[in-house]
Structure 1
Amino acid sequence: MSRIEVVAPNLKFRLSGVTSTIVQLVPVQARTIGIATIGPGLPDSLPRMRWWQLPALLSRPASGRKRVWHARRNTEMVAGLLLRRVFGAPLRLLFTSAAQRYHQPLTRWLMRRMDAVIATSARSGSYLDVPHEVVMHGIDLDVFHPPRGGDDAFAASGLPGRFAVGCFGRIRQQKGTDLFVDAMIELLPRFPDWTAVIAGRVTAENFGFAQALKARIAKAGLADRIVFLGEVPDIKLWFRRLSLYVAPSRNEGFGLTPLEAMASATPVVASDAGAYAEMVVAGETGAVAPAGDGRALIEAIRPYLADPSLAEKQGQAARDHVERRFRLQQEADSLIAIYRRLGAEGR
């Protein structure tokens, strides 16, 4: 613990986008700075501190700087404040906000007690009433990469058609899964070379929603061309098998799937929810449609199904774009600079 200068808590049992961010980011940051995670649901491969080591936070690390407690949820802000105010831990408190809405009074109260606040996009920053910096998420370009072999080809899936259009994430109304299904029901009869794949978990509360979608697909006679994959063991493979990815969310925090698709050389049609419009370069790496507008989504998807060469061309541009703007190392470096500044201010 004497070399740990940053703690990244994950105080949630259930897997979420925040958890995914921590899992991807911390190993990269650990190459440069002493950082440890704490909390449930994290792989043992991450640098971790245990609950019994919490008393170590009551003293400074060997550097003499204050440690940074990097919270990403309300519970983690509360925990940081308790450690500092009740137990006297010499901590600097940092919060990352990804929300695309005005925060509740409790969250605003907590943020005003942080030493620094980060927004994950310009849009999320526009909802904050505290000083903040924008640090957008990045993507691991070694993990998400263009097709390299036969198994990466859509033909290896055994599904019908020559090209695939996909929509990944939890199956629910917020994610716009129904908008994607409606678009496919209208478009696929006109484009017989294409098959749609939907991957993601169906929770108990969304079981009826998913069943209704499947009933609509069956009624349209497209059950063999709009395929639910469920939760797949390696979603990265499926990004490489796609010729087009669709992110139709009605609302979103940040949303990494467009970056994961583009890193895989797959162009993206996205709604303007979350930070999607700040990721996708319309007309170059994909297209952007107003969130919740089913007709606009259909018209944004149509050109790619009509001309697969357009999808291929923009897919390569998408990979180039992510390499320039959204490397995971860039995000790690930006955060480390903030950590070091905060720690030094606390000397």
Structure 2
Amino acid sequence: MRVCFVVSTFPRFTGDPEVPWLLETVRRLRAKGIDVEIFASSYEGMEPHLLEGIPVHRFRYFFRRWEYLTHNEGATNKVQRSSLYKLLALPYILLGALSMVRFCRGRKFDVFQAHWPFPHALFAWIGARRHGARLSLRFYGAELVLAEKLPFVRSFIRAFMKRADTVDAISTYTASRARQIYQRKVAVIPYGSHLEISVEAGAPRERSSKRREILFVGRLVERKGVEYLVRAMPLVRASGVEAHLTVAGNGHWEKEIREAIEEKGVGDLVTMAGRVSDEEKASLYKKCDVYVHPAIVDPRGDTEMLGVVLIEAMAYAKPLIASDVGGIPDVVKDGETGLLVPEKDPEKLAEAIVRVLTDPTLAEKLGKAGCEFLQDYFSWDRIADSLIAEFRGEDRPADAEGCDDDPGR
């Protein structure tokens, strides 16, 4: 079977921090005999290339120096922030469609899958029509947020949801938002972690001090809610718990986070580590005592649609604390694989952090249960098998039956 992934963003090189889980998805499918090629946008003039033997066709849509609508941050977020990005969207759509027509010559695919269906469903539909192939849509959520603000985006998505042979989403929450646009079956097929996890990853570490380590990893954007975690740190200190927070990542919201650190006087309790390599990130996961993800629903209505960093922390058998928003409850089962707290609530965050850090039995229980849940629901074999069954129009394997509903069922 030959499948074409139609995407906005795809890693430019091995180790690229952009959507590494998408590259891992392709690796896993190819290992199971599925021949996958990528149709993606260019970035600053980047030409078609091979990545680990995977053909990546890059379509050009503007002058080299201005080709940055995608990568480094979601295109839908950029479009909502700046008129310049809105201007880039039109040539992106027109030239993407024309490039797909040319791309289809001399190639044959059985399935075209549009990731982030606005506007990529159009490109995938053109390919599917020309090849008599199946059309599949895969929702990550950003395009659904945009659809709530722009009626023409909503109409676009509805039209292609009607035409698609299959539709899936990465979380229960994302699937429910897609069904609000057009009522049809939307399978829930998550992604997993691309990190190589060693067998020692979840082993207890030796402590050289009483200080406990709190970790956050992710792009520093408003919807991550990191400033609320910073504001919880004085409350953690006031409880008598000696704890330190490491924030790993970068982004345009860093200024606001640093202002919160200064406002609360917790510069000695918080380290801003910046963007870290996979090796450094693995070390941070291994050393931390609790992973905290204080996501919020931002003023644009955007939030965490799943949370790959939560999945990564699970692999290290770390207890999780996260906000009860978006797709996070697919990962964090309150009281089972972690603790859920209300968004934008430093007091509740602090209470949960203190509870986990002062109760080793609870921390171990949550970490172990999370690791077991990861090995079941977020295993790459299960994810790849579910996608392959979808591509073939088959019922998914028995171990994926929960994909259409609550994964914690």
TM over 0.5: yes
- Residues 145 and 263 in structure 1, CA contact (< 8 A), matched pair in contact too: no
CA distance in 2, matches of 1:154, 1:261: 18
Shift, 1:323, TM fit: 1.2
Note closer, same or farther for the CA distance 1:319–1:28 as it changes in structure 2 (3 Å cut): same
CA distance in 1, matches of 2:17, 2:168: 16
What is aligned with 1:12? 9
* Matched ranges for 1:156-305 at <5 A: 162-203=211-252, 206-217=253-264, 219=265, 222-234=266-278, 235-250=281-296, 251-305=303-357
Shift, 1:168, TM fit: 1.2
- DSSP-derived class of the 1:48 partner: strand
- DSSP-derived class of the 1:82 partner: helix
- Residues 237 and 243 in structure 2, CA contact (< 8 A), matched pair in contact too: yes
What is aligned with 1:312? 364
Is 2:22 the counterpart of 1:22?
A: yes
What is aligned with 1:345? none
- Residues 2 and 36 in structure 2, CA contact (< 8 A), matched pair in contact too: yes
Is 304-313 or 226-235 further displaced after alignment? 304-313
CA distance in 2, matches of 1:298, 1:289: 10
Shift, 1:147, TM fit: 4.2
Is 171-180 or 33-42 further displaced after alignment? 33-42
- Residues 138 and 330 in structure 1, CA contact (< 8 A), matched pair in contact too: no
Shift, 1:140, TM fit: 4.5
1:248 is matched by which residue type in structure 2?
P
- Residues 70 and 93 in structure 1, CA contact (< 8 A), matched pair in contact too: yes
CA distance in 2, matches of 1:17, 1:230: 13
1:130 is matched by which residue type in structure 2?
Q
CA distance in 1, matches of 2:17, 2:326: 13
- TM-score by length of structure 2 reads 0.70
What is aligned with 2:121? 77
CA distance in 1, matches of 2:329, 2:133: 35
Shift, 1:287, TM fit: 0.6
Is 2:49 the counterpart of 1:48?
A: no
Is 2:171 the counterpart of 1:121?
A: yes
- DSSP-derived class of the 1:213 partner: helix
Unpaired runs of 5+ residues, structure 1, are 343-347
1:247 is matched by which residue type in structure 2?
H
Note closer, same or farther for the CA distance 1:51–1:164 as it changes in structure 2 (3 Å cut): closer
Shift, 1:310, TM fit: 2.5
Note closer, same or farther for the CA distance 1:119–1:17 as it changes in structure 2 (3 Å cut): farther
Percent identity for Structure 1 against Structure 2: 24
Note closer, same or farther for the CA distance 1:146–1:189 as it changes in structure 2 (3 Å cut): farther
Q: Deviations over 1:259-296 (max 9, x none)?
A: 11111111111112222112122222211123333333
2:197 is matched by which residue type in structure 1?
F
- DSSP-derived class of the 1:30 partner: helix
2:104 is matched by which residue type in structure 1?
L
Deviant stretches of 4+, over 6 Å: 13-18
- DSSP-derived class of the 2:228 partner: helix
Shift, 1:182, TM fit: 1.0
CA distance in 2, matches of 1:154, 1:138: 32
Note closer, same or farther for the CA distance 1:141–1:173 as it changes in structure 2 (3 Å cut): closer
Shift, 1:43, TM fit: 7.8
Shift, 1:192, TM fit: 4.2
Answer 1 or 2: higher relative contact order, Cα 8 Å, separation at least 6. 1
Is 2:31 the counterpart of 1:31?
A: yes
- Residues 243 and 266 in structure 1, CA contact (< 8 A), matched pair in contact too: yes
CA distance in 1, matches of 2:324, 2:388: 29
1:209 is matched by which residue type in structure 2?
E
- Residues 112 and 130 in structure 1, CA contact (< 8 A), matched pair in contact too: no
